[in-house]
Structures are given as C-alpha cells and as structure tokens.
Homo-oligomer: A and B are copies of this chain.
Amino acid sequence: MSQEQAESGRRARPARSKSSVTLLDVAREAGVSLATASRVVNGSVSRRPAPELIEKVTEAAVRLGYSANASAQAIARGVNSVVGLIVSDIADPYFSSIAAGVTAEAEEQGLLVTLASTKGRPNREVDYLSALRRQRPMAILLVGSRRADPAAEQRLSQELRAFREDGGRAAAVSQPTLGIDTVAVRNAEGAADLARALVAQGHTSFGVLSGPADLQTAADRVAGFRGGLRAAGARLAAKNLQHGGFTRDGGKQAARELLTRSPDIGCLFAVNDVMGIGAMSAARELGYRVPEDLAIAGFDDIPSAADTFPPLTTVRLDLEAVGRDAMRFVLEQPGAGTPRVKYVTGDVVLRPSTTR
C-alpha cells in the first residue's frame, strides 16, 4: 500500500505467477533485511532479533497480509511439514475412522495431511506413493491390507525403500511385510476369539463371508476363525466359505450365494462389518430372521455396527487409536534399526445379532 511496485529492477515476473506478498516485501516495508524478516516470521531459535524489530516486522507482515510460501520453505529447509496418507477407500468407515486419528495427531504436531484413496487398486497404491513422494513429505502412512500380488508388493517396497533412503519416514497399518514400522491388527487372534465365543453361545453350523481372495486381512481372519472353531470343537465346511467384495454390496451378494447354496447354515461370520451389514440385508430379503434363523457376526466394530438391528456382534478395534499410533510411529522414528511392529488386539463384542 505504501510502496510503489514498479521500481523492481528485475526481469518481468512471469505472467502465471501469483501476485502474492513475499518476505522481501515485508522486509522492505519494515525497513529491515530479508534475513531479519525471516528470523522473526519463523521464530528462529539461534538468533532472535531485537524486540522493536520483531514488532516492526510483525506489523508489516499483517499490514501486507503476508502468508509464507510453504514450498519455498520446504525447498530451503529440506523438509516439508506434510505427511502423506494412503488409504483404500476414504468413504469406508474403517478407513475414515483411522484417517480421523491420523489427522487429529497430525494437527497436534502442526502437520498437514495429504490424502490419497486407492479404491483397492494395487497400481494406484504405487502411483500415489510416488506422487506423494514428490511432495517430499516428512512421512508417508500406508493404510490397507497387503495383497497376494508379489509384483505390486515388490514395486511398493522398492518405492518405499527409496523414499526412506531420501530421509523420509514411513509406517503402515496392515501386515508387517513392507519392511517399515507397522501397526498390525491381530486379525487371526481376534477371529479365533470370536469363533470360540460363538461356539460357546451354542452355534454349531458356520459359514464365512470372506473378501477378495488375495486380501491378506481377509485371509488372516478366515484362517483365525477356522482355527478358533477347531479349537472349540467345531468346524467350517469348505463349501461354506464364500468370497466377495470387501464392501457392503459384496457382503450382500456373497451372503445370497452362500445361503442359496447352504440354506441351513446357523451362523455367518463376515470378515468385516460392512460385509456383515450387507449379509444382514440379504438374509432379511431371503426371509431369515436374525438371529433366530441365522446369526451374523462381523469384524472391526465400525460405528454403525451398533445401530443395525439387531445390533451386530463383532470384534472391536479402536480405529482412531490405530491411526494415532501409526502417526506416532513416524514421529518418534529412530534413525534406522529393524522395523517395529505394534500389535493391536480386538475385543469380541457380543450383541443380539448372534444371541441364541
């Protein structure tokens, strides 16, 4: 406002450039050097300017409406106060709950979160990883089940290694197979506990709704459930395992097929809640009363699991805490060393959907 803009002796600035106020503008307005201005706006630790200069610069900054350019700071400092977050599907309550934990923790650290949703496409996972890598985020979080896709997993690991060699930190919420710190849910154990609890409730005939065949999380839960059943003296007939999409509709469809094939299954375990909710819908449409004719259980304890009718028996996970834990992993990451693994266990929550 008080300075003439045209006096610049520099080359004309490119047309595409935004006309925003720079630190240099602030410095001039305050009558100090660029260095001093920098020291006050970012509160340098080593050198602290005189109180009066601090005031002059601060005033100039607000008067001019100065907003620091994070890209320039990132490039000058070598690190960016951003963390990348890759999830399978942000619209899925499982992931959005974890994302909530991540953003909450990030906020406390003054970090911004850049989000990518892969929709389950393994290629996109790698693509996003390299796109995020270009932002030089201080850390990248990978949230989602590993897959039995050696090629994709291989590329992912390479990209992650490269990122870490450049000084980036990384952590995952999945299975501990990526060579990075990971928060791992004890899926098999949780499912086994559930199986035992179900048998204890008196259920004898089981069916399982699993997700895509190559999803590690789904496989682990199925294996755990099967093991738990066996330990309790029951068993899962091979033909009573049905794969489907890892979504509500996938669960609904899978339930339809399974119940058509094996109409008198007494208890259905869906490897996650959204599938379980879909199964409930299918069961009802097929004329089953839940839980009288058919008991249904899920896994995760997403918020809506308690609001279905009847409320869904499941294995509770503190999803937001999982997100926070992953974030903490990258914050307190040591220089090197073997990747750490934090196991989180799920608690069986018996609700009316399996009451007998």
Within 8 A of B (CB), among A122-157: 124, 130-136
Task: Check if A5 is an interface residue, CB within 8 A of chain B.
Answer: no
Task: Check if A72 is an interface residue, CB within 8 A of chain B.
Answer: yes
How many whole Å from A131's CB to the nearest CB in chain B?
6
* Residues of chain B lying within 8 A (CB to CB) of residue A309: 308-310
Task: Check if A201 is an interface residue, CB within 8 A of chain B.
Answer: no
B100 and A89 contacting across the interface, CB-CB below 8 Å: yes
Tell which of A75, A91, A166, A320 has the most Cβ of chain B within 10 Å: A91
Tell which of A71, A75, A136 has the most Cβ of chain B within 10 Å: A71
Instruction: Kindly identify which residue among B67, B80, B91, B114 contacts A99, using a CB–CB cutoff of 8 Å.
Output: B91
Q: A16-B78, A91-B320, A96-B96 are in contact. Are A135 and B71 (CB under 8 A)?
A: yes
Q: A132-B112, A304-B277, A304-B304 are in contact. Are A18 and B166 (CB under 8 A)?
A: yes
Q: How many residues belonging to A are interface residues under a CB distance threshold of 8 Å?
A: 64
A67 and B304 contacting across the interface, CB-CB below 8 Å: no
Instruction: Kindly identify which residue among B71, B114, B303 contacts A71, using a CB–CB cutoff of 8 Å.
Output: B71
Task: Check if A162 is an interface residue, CB within 8 A of chain B.
Answer: yes
In addition to A103-B117, A107-B124, 10 A-B residue pairs with Cβ atoms within 8 Å of each other are A17-B78, A18-B168, A67-B166, A71-B71, A71-B74, A90-B100, A99-B115, A107-B117, A114-B115, A248-B307
Binding site for B on A (CB under 8 A): 14, 16-20, 65, 67-72, 74-75, 77-80, 82, 85, 89-91, 93, 96-97, 99-100, 103-104, 107, 112-117, 119, 124, 130-136, 162, 165-168, 248, 277, 280-281, 303-304, 306-310, 320
